[in-house]
Structure 1
């Protein structure tokens, strides 16, 4: 079974140069992001997590050549608890279990003293 990798959308794939705005996906992909995702998908089950409308993100990624799967909640398609499929890119509004999370706003946790110091440094 492949290992799962999570990738944030805004600031990691989508340049996000103007911030949230009205939720519109207005920028092109960050240089190298699409190629990196394609490469990672050869080894990992990759999912994209976002606070945006997951359907809009899935459509944007499909427009850029990805086979996307939308994590929907409904009577015939309950939201997934895990993602372990190679070759398709899941798009969801949740952080599922993964071996690593690639995110532009993350703080790596090793202990609380370090985390609080890193948070203070990042917000100054």
Structure 2
């Protein structure tokens, strides 16, 4: 399958960023589970090195489903483990992140050249195959389209 390289372009802000999910992509959650949104887990092996590498080449944002009141804790976790400068998103209308050198923490899925997520399903233009993958993932056994 051919996948084009998405080069950063000045006229395309989304081409300049990579979005990385937080829970179960950067930070492991153990048997304690969600724990009311506390940020307590250790990095998933290889996650910090990957985050640093991505940040050398693109603007990076970390996205999370956590409420905004936990974003400072997420940003602190990222900085503590990676040494990267972080900033919490203060703009609920932000559509893009293009600032190199600072990792943005947000609960928005901003425009990006690529997303890294533990729950993602790749869409290759074929809804039949994609729907089969999604229905299996959510536990549906028979779906009529």
What's the TM-score once normalised by structure 1's chain length? 0.87
Q: Deviations over 1:90-124 (max 9, x none)?
A: 11011000011100001111332111111133345
Residue 57 (structure 2) aligns with: 43
Q: Which runs of 5+ in 2 are unaligned?
A: 1-9, 140-145
Which ranges of 4 or more aligned residues in structure 1 deviate by more than 6 Å? none
| Number of equivalences | 120
RMSD across aligned C-alpha pairs, in angstroms? 1.7
What's the TM-score once normalised by structure 2's chain length? 0.75
Which structure shows the higher helix fraction? 2
**Partner Cα separation in structure 2 for residue 83 and residue 60 of structure 1:** 20
Residue 118 (structure 2) aligns with: 104
Q: Which has the larger radius of gyration?
A: 2
| 3-state secondary structure, aligned to 1:114 | helix
Q: Which runs of 5+ in 1 are unaligned?
A: none
Residue 118 (structure 1) aligns with: 133
Question: Which structure has the higher relative contact order (CA within 8 Å, separation 6+)?
Answer: 1
